[in-house]
């Protein structure tokens, strides 16, 4: 994957997949690889109704 999707549903799915499959150990690591700020990404997805659980490394 060379970029993260723009569509919120696709974005949360891609992020969760990359974290679940072990591509990246943390959300910060994933965001750095894609040139995104973790705080901004989290805020963007929160506006769409998704909350991040750092213990399980997943947006719900």
The pLDDT assigned to 1 comes to: 78
Helix axes 8-20, 38-47, angle to 10 degrees: 130
| 3-state SS, residue 20 | helix
Confidence of residue 2 (pLDDT cuts 50, 70, 90): confident
pTM attached to this predicted model: 0.92
23-46 pLDDT, tens digit per residue, is: 899 999 999 999 999 999 999 999
Residue 27 Rama label (left phi>0; alpha psi -120 to 50; beta) = alpha
4-18 pLDDT, tens digit per residue, is: 999 999 999 999 999
Q: Which residues pair with 58 in a beta bridge?
A: 53
- Nearest CA to 24 among 38, 6, 9, 10? 38
Structural domain spans, the chain: 8-59
Strands 58-59 and 52-53: antiparallel
């Amino acid at each position: 994957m060379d970029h993260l999707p723009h569509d919120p549903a696709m974005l949360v799915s891609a992020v969760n997949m990359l974290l679940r499959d072990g591509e990246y150990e943390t959300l910060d690591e994933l965001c750095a690889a894609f040139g995104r700020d973790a705080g901004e990404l989290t805020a963007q997805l929160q506006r769409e109704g998704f909350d991040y659980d750092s213990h399980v490394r997943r947006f719900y």
